[in-house]
Amino acid sequence: MRAFPLSFCLSFTKHKLSGSTWILPVVRNMSTDSHPGFLGKCVLAPMVRTGELPTRILALKYGADAVWGPEIVDKGIIGCRRVDNSIADCVDFVKATNGGKGEDRIIFRTHKTIEKNKLIFQIGTSSPELAVEGAKIVAKDVAGIDVNAGCPKHFSIHSGMGAALLQTPDKLVSILSSLVEEVGKPNNIPISVKIRILDTPEATLDLVRQLCTTGIVRVTVHCRTTPMRPREPVIRDTLSDIVNVCHAAGVKCYANGDVESRQHAEKLIEEYGVDGCMIARAAESNPSVFRSEGLLDWREVAEEYLKTAVSIGHYVSNTKFCLGHLIPGKNPLYNDVTRSKTLEQMCTALGIPCELPFSETEVKSDRTVSKATKKAQKTSETVKAAGGGGGARQKKKTKKLSERGVTSVTIAETNNEVPTPAVAMV
């Protein structure tokens, strides 16, 4: 059993997933740090594809203090409708495909209870106006907004997003200032930024000083330059100086890059004075890196991941992709899982029951909204309370989700006033 210092107040909360009840510790730091930028010592990094909901739930189960969602570009979240998904106890942000004429596609999903006050939404942007418009859509359902100013991938840089913002600091400052004033303050949520180091310590420190004038609460530093690849060792020579600049401005500083475990994070906190550390690749391979007691066997973690994915009706392709990171490539199970085409087949391969809360045929292989999700939307208490989701309108198969009830909300049209969703754990 994990031992907690006396400075912590420990209570327990139950979450029922995949046919079993998890009793998770709810830890409240009663010692010193109530700063809005402090989320705990060890958090899950934003990761494209692997940072979807099942991974985040598992990271929190294993002790992550907070989780970042995968980066979502401003234009991707703009135009989404907020949908209460009672069958999975989630909030889905969906957008119709094919110019609004096709099926609804889930752009972003958060668990209403497990991720409450724990989830940071990371936005990719190069425009203050679009950043604000996109952030407003999710602001009431997340614990903060983080701007991605560190992604070195071409799709980000060529659009002026990600690490390209490091070369346009005035634009980055404008984006952060706008988010603080127009999203952070009105919704009482913190705004932060994730960056990379620049070519010289002087340039990095000058950039951090500018960022700390915007009203943000936290700077996360990936200790590599933009051209550096993950296989290259991190550079932490300037990290302590960055921490000093942040702290002088009342801003928290987190470190990212080659953080291997909670124990490693605690060593880095002690050595460099950072407020916390962010784990990426190590958590991608085994989310139990957040445990104080050490790693669990990959088989146990893979089974828990699949049970979690099944319990929320996660889409097949991403479930398979993430399991491919958890299962050793030389193990026979790896090929069994990668050949699977359904959640049931993956469960069979791992020898666990497939306890779907709905029919296997209702699960989509991609992000498009499944029949089960639509059923949850139509039967949710929020829809009923608003007078929607019943009668003949539900039976007209040609009707789109947007015409079936007001649980599906276009944020821009309602001035971001979203009704609080009903909680219905399954």
Set 42, 80, 90, 151: catalytic member: 151
**Beta pairing class for 42-44 and 20-29:** unpaired
How far lies 156's CA from each of 164, 258, 384, in Å? 8, 22, 41
CA distance 40 to 14: 21
151 is catalytic: yes
For residue 248, the tally of other CB atoms under 10 A from its CB is 10
Give 296's DSSP letter.
Answer: P
Yes or no: say if 378 and 370 are a contact pair by the CB < 8 Å rule. no
How far lies 75's CA from each of 71, 78, 129, 253, 364, in Å? 12, 5, 11, 28, 24
Yes or no: say if 99 and 151 are a contact pair by the CB < 8 Å rule. no
**403, 404, 411, 408: which is closest to 421 by C-alpha?**
408
CB within 8 A of 94, min separation 6: which ones? Answer: 80, 81, 83, 104, 105, 106, 107, 369, 401, 408
Rg (CA), the chain: 21
**Beta pairing class for 90-96 and 104-111:** antiparallel
CA distance 322 to 385: 38
Tokens read off for 174? 């404008």
Q: Which helix (H) or strand (E) holds 84?
A: strand 81-85
Which is it for the CA torsion 416, 422, 423, 426, positive or negative? negative
Tokens read off for 159? 């659009």
End-to-end CA separation in angstroms for the chain: 28
Q: Which helix (H) or strand (E) holds 276?
A: strand 276-279
Give 182's DSSP letter.
Answer: I
**Residues that are catalytic:** 151
